[in-house]
Amino acid sequence: MRSDLSVRNLVVNYGPVRALHGVSFDVPEGQIAALVGSNGAGKSTVLKSICGLLKPVEGEIRVGEEVMKPRPGDPLRHGVALSPEGRRLFGRLSVEENLMMGAYTVKDAAARDDMLDRVYGYFPRLKERRRQMAGSLSGGEQQMCAIGRALMAQPRVLLLDEPSLGIAPIIVAELAKIIEEISRDTSMTVLLVEQNAQMALSIAATGVVLETGNVVLTGTGRELLASPEVRAAYLGT
């Protein structure tokens, strides 16, 4: 199966400290892949490298057949959009204004309107609150808005950074179903970066476990959920 996002031998330093030690993995086209690990494992470093916010010492990142340059803006040019950890919405702008900020590179007005309708279809609560200031939303609603904003860029690869962080379990379950629905309906490739291994691996076709900057396990989501090592380290069983 063709990879939509490919990370090869990624080495990243923070000053004298090596944060990633030759990380390699593939995200199959049109599927959900989960990158899981504890806090400090290097997950955010991988995402920052993909987004051009960190310059690797070694390695390369490809979207399709094209190698991305390690600079901000290049990932979006290649069709990669990020829903960041902590949501990072514009709190004094309305929900709809935040969503439209995600579409600033989309020149086709009809395509923007179509995607806005699709986002409201996935997240009906956002449509109900479209004139409400984003800063007044609940945590779960803010997360929906952040994912919706990333979708408005109409990416081929969607990066989701800790979407379950600080969210009530019932909302986490709802978000998981919506992420599956988005991938299924749009054939969009999704890289889900999570500490919540149970949620991430339960919806992922492919899973990658990161520890102290190294890939220690790969497999299908189902295989990793059944792995004794994963269950002991991340699921508490």
The domains of the chain, with CATH numbers, are 1-79+155-237 (3.40.50.300), 87-154 (no CATH)
Q: Is the pLDDT of residue 1 over 70?
A: no
Q: Is the pLDDT of residue 49 over 70?
A: yes
Q: Is the pLDDT of residue 236 over 80?
A: no
51 or 74, higher pLDDT: 51
Q: Is the pLDDT of residue 153 over 70?
A: yes
Q: Is the pLDDT of residue 237 over 80?
A: no
Q: Encode the chain in three state secondary structure.
A: CCEEEEEEEEEEEECCEEEEEEEEEEEECCCEEEEECCCCCCHHHHHHHHCCCCCCCEEEEEECCEECCCCCCHHHHCCEEEECCCCCCCCCCEHHHHHHHCCCCCCCHHHHHHHHHHHHHHCHHHHHCCCCEHHHCCHHHHHHHHHHHHHCCCCCEEEEECCCCCCCHHHHHHHHHHHHHHHHHHCCEEEEEECCHHHHHHHCCEEEEEECCEEEEEECHHHHHHCHHHHHHHHCC
Q: How confident is the model at residue 179 (pLDDT cuts 50, 70, 90)?
A: very high
The CA-based diameter of the chain, rounded to the nearest angstrom, is 50
Q: Is the pLDDT of residue 56 over 70?
A: yes
Q: Is the pLDDT of residue 69 over 90?
A: no
Q: What is the pLDDT of residue 166?
A: 84
Q: How confident is the model at residue 167 (pLDDT cuts 50, 70, 90)?
A: confident
pTM confidence score: 0.92
Close Cβ partners of 173 (under 8 Å, ≥ 6 residues apart): 199
Of 1-15, 44-58, 71-85, 108-122, which range is least confident? Answer: 71-85
Close Cβ partners of 90 (under 8 Å, ≥ 6 residues apart): 97, 98, 101, 134
